[in-house]
Amino acid sequence: MMGRVDAIKRFNEYLGTLNYRKIVIIAGNHDWLFETQPKEAEKLITNAIYLKDSEIIIDGIKIYGSPWQPWFGDWAFNLRRGLPLKKKWNLIPKDVDILMTHGPPYSYLDKNFRGEYTGCQDLLYRIRVIAPKYHVFGHIHEGYGTAKEDKTTFINASVVDVHYRMVNDPIVFEL
């Protein structure tokens, strides 16, 4: 819940039990150590590839990951809407196949329990420019599921509900 060293170690151990050739992860709003002491946090991840405003190509598939979201409470990786977030989204390469962000784009699987759309409009604009095949995110637990617009499939992959109970199955997809 707070991204402390012991939790990151346990998460890394869990990742090591999964039967996948490659695992790619990003941080999110609970992952304080990744924001405040990124080098220390990143050293703890040995069973996955951690992306922070960066990309990796695996088997010819370009994956880009970013942990940011519009200001939300007083959590990690918050940025103000407008120019601060737009600068981050402009870093996303135009030829990315899979985009991973912590926060959702506006109006796609981003409705909270109050019925409010909470996603980022600047992120949605960038997605429409680059048209990745997949955009995978979480953050708004109530938005779990998939949606499609033109060439992009949106995936809110949150496996927990608003009370942090694991109620949703992982979403599996193939390119």
Name the pTM for this structure.
0.95
Mean pLDDT of the chain: 95
- Under a CB-based contact definition with an 8 Å cutoff, are residues 137 and 123 in contact? no
Confidence band for 44, pLDDT divided at 50, 70 and 90: very high
Task: Give me the number of domains the chain comprises.
Answer: 1
Rounded average pLDDT over 80-107: 97
* CATH classification at residue 146: 3.60.21.10
Residues facing 160 on adjacent strands: 166
Domain that holds residue 91: 52-156
Mean pLDDT of 96-120: 96
The least confident of 13-17, 97-101, 144-148, 166-170 is 166-170
Backbone dihedral angles phi then psi of residue 74, each to the nearest 5 degrees: -130, 60
Residue 97 included in any domain: yes
Answer whether residue 76 is part of any domain: yes
Q: Is residue 60 part of a domain?
A: yes
Residue 6, pLDDT > 70, answer yes
110 falls within a domain? yes
- Please tell me the least confidently modeled range out of 71-75, 91-95, 109-113: 71-75
With respect to residue 132, please indicate whether it lies within any of the assigned structural domains. yes
Cβ proximity of 92 and 100 under 8 Å: no
Is 162 inside a domain boundary? no
109 contacts 75 by C-beta, under 8 angstroms = no
Q: Is residue 36 part of a domain?
A: no
Q: Does 59 reside within a domain?
A: yes
* Per-residue pLDDT reduced to its tens digit, 48-66: 999 999 999 999 999 999 9
Question: Is pLDDT at 1 greater than 70 in this prediction?
Answer: no
CA distance 167 to 150: 29
Please check whether residue 116 is in contact with residue 80, taking contact to mean a CB–CB distance below 8 angstroms.
no
Query: What was the pLDDT predicted at 156?
Result: 97
